[in-house]
Structure 1
């Protein structure tokens, strides 16, 4: 028998067995590349190619095995990579080496009531509120709330996580997640937990979520327990919006959002309250050069609109307001920072799997940023401006398989 015939026979047998057991394994992915013009990167203009415009470039494998009696085993492995140079994405903080399956990696069991999954996963805020923000619709990560401060855009993923998710009943779904911190003798250190619920039926979508992170500089924006304390290992918060609060003992996010569709138009709104609490925990969390005490609180409001102009063309616009409170310090006076940003976008489908898009946005900052100086504009995921303003335009192409 020829080698090609042998391979064909083996593959036929494998996929026949999957079909018999009513099980499946699917390979999928997204390729997204863009060209971006930024008016102010440390005071200079920049034109650059980038991977991941509307969505991060990725490929993954997901599978379901029918165990009988309504039970099933399931898994997901998802890898992020940079289409511009082929490098792995989702690196551990302070490392240039990406993670093989840095986006998601979990295994679990399920039935008609819901699922339980274990591994690297998304929290409840991401599950129920991310989809209501423009960053997960037509804007991409650059349009996320400054520094993705409430994690609506999934900047922080959760390692060592156990997650319970219900099935959807009459449009309602709930889930909860708990991550073990992994520090011997310190049960609460680096732990993460969240709860959320969503309702999606007809023209109405509603979501609520709660996220609580201990030692967020390590346990969330770091690598969830594998790092030494940040005062010896650096600051994993990378944006000036938040990097001065690395010494927070805990981070708490409360969020809610809703969207309503009328004919071709969808109007939406999200709100979040984020608190970096017990500042000054330099032993287990991170450095505190500005000698902050107490808590730093941020309130964020996003108003957005999406218009389905034709079956192939989506138009969108949004405005976002982030306000931080004043923070107590023994060495300086901080009145907090305010960030306004607006975005417009268009996405045109060339086919069911391929689309082209354009996104433009501006940001204006004022007040005192987390590092103690005058606030500078810092569009999410990009190098900050040298002054209070920053703007960009992006064009790109996305293909799904």
Structure 2
């Protein structure tokens, strides 16, 4: 009996060790809100008010599977599969008539070292997302999707992913982190048609966090490669056309336990442009440039209640083409928010966004358009949202 009891005990111990060395986590976010928007362009071109139930006003609704296996010696096998969906009707978020993505937000596997960092392969975010966006009011920031810069031209709102990518992200060395990635075109005989690369670095020391990054997409506007690095068929492009470059830097200072102020500068340019993300009209020209200047702040009145605000001034430059004359549009984007946390996982929020555009030179594509809303019929748009968000 003693030997039998010992065998049972050893079996239970070894089973426990095996489970401790490997884990798979189910996680996600569900965000829904009641939204009002004015000046929404109708099918007749006139403006009208719109009341709607929206999914993902702050955080895109999603669920995912995240895994980690301890391989010994500080080495781990890691993976992440993440699906985006629309809460209103359960539809996949990253999909079009041309392509449906089951794990359209992220899909990667790799090896992670406690000493050096992680090497991962698959569909992944670039270093603009990893190092610049966290100090912004949009994207992972408190203002979320509704606070995005025009057309999310700089990818701070995480709309672009890189397919076919190999990515290395270092661990922190005295607060300093860096990374590099390359995404293949996957096209025979045309390795430079829709490939991409990104570089970035960040530094954290006490209440200060600083980040900078660069992203370049190399594309042939005349012969678009749908299987390449930049998503074409699933609607994730920030702008269609030829080569695209984005770079930026950001900084954040935290005071108290959670409150913070941040500043962001980003620049983006697309050559031989033929479309803009989220716009109701196509655009055709030699180039479209954006410079974004953002300041943001969040103050916790109580540990469970915060007030936030951000202002972004965006300068644009359109070269002109078949869809309209040259123009130098500029956007003023104001965001205010109040958020109450029932718990660490559940909160309610009220947010308002006002956008004012000038210098569009009569081109309707430069009318106001708050992210996620149908574009305005004029150069102004006001949006309010009252929502509930739960994380698991």
Q: TM-score range by the shorter chain?
A: 0.7 to 0.9
Q: Does 1:198 align with 2:202?
A: yes
Corresponding residue of 1:9: none
Q: From 346, 360, 378, give the equivalent of 2:352.
A: 360
For residues 70-149 of structure 1, the aligned pairs below 5 Å read 70-92=74-96, 94-95=97-98, 98-111=100-113, 112-135=115-138, 136-149=140-153
Q: How big is the shift at 1:31?
A: 1.2
- TM-score, reference length from structure 1: 0.84
SS in 2 for 1:134: coil
Report 1:299-310 matches (<5 A): 299-310=291-302
User: Counterparts of 1:363-382 in structure 2 under 5 Å?
Assistant: 363-368=355-360, 372-373=363-364, 375-382=366-373
Aligned equivalents of 1:330, 1:31: Cα separation in 2: 42
- Scaled by the length of structure 2, what TM-score is found? 0.85
- Residue pair 1:87, 1:98 contacting (<8 A) in 2 also: no
Aligned residue in 1 for 2:31: 32
Secondary structure, in 3 states, of the residue corresponding to 2:129? helix
| CA RMSD after TM alignment | 3.1
Counterpart Cα distance in 2 of 1:154 and 1:205: 19
Deviation (angstroms), 1:18: 3.6
Q: CA deviation at 1:223?
A: 5.1
Decide which of 261, 266, 270 is 2:260's aligned counterpart: 266
Q: Residue 155 in 1 paired to residue 159 in 2?
A: yes
How many Å apart are 1:341 and its aligned residue? 0.9
Displacement of 1:107 in angstroms is: 0.4
Number of residue equivalences: 368
- 1:18·1:24 contact (CA, 8 Å) conserved in 2? no
Residue of structure 1 in register with 2:390 after alignment: 399
SS at match of 1:169: coil
Change (3 A) 1:102 1:353: same
Flag the 1:52–1:217 CA change in 2: closer, same or farther, 3 A: farther
Per-residue CA distance 1:323-349 (angstroms, 9 max, x = gap)? 112515489631221111100001110
Distance in 2 separating the partners of 1:260 and 1:226: 34
- Matched with 2:192 is 188
Query: Tell me, what secondary structure is at the counterpart of 1:314?
Result: strand
Give the match for residue 317 of structure 1. 309
The answer to whether structure 1 residue 253 and structure 2 residue 256 are counterparts is: no
C-alpha distance in structure 1 between counterparts of 2:38 and 2:274, whole Å: 37
Give 1:292 deviation, angstroms.
2.6
Q: Which runs of 5+ in 2 are unaligned?
A: 1-11, 42-46, 276-280
| Cα pair distance change 1:18/1:147, threshold 3 Å | farther
Instruction: Decide whether aligned partners of structure 1 residues 76 and 216 sit closer, same or farther in structure 2, where only a CA change above 3 A counts.
Output: farther
Q: Map 1:319-358; keep pairs closer than 5 Å.
A: 319-329=311-321, 333-358=325-350
Matched residue of 1:189: which SS? coil
CA distance in 1, matches of 2:57, 2:260: 22
Equivalent position of 1:54 in the other structure: 58
Question: Residue 366 of structure 2: SS of its match in structure 1?
Answer: coil
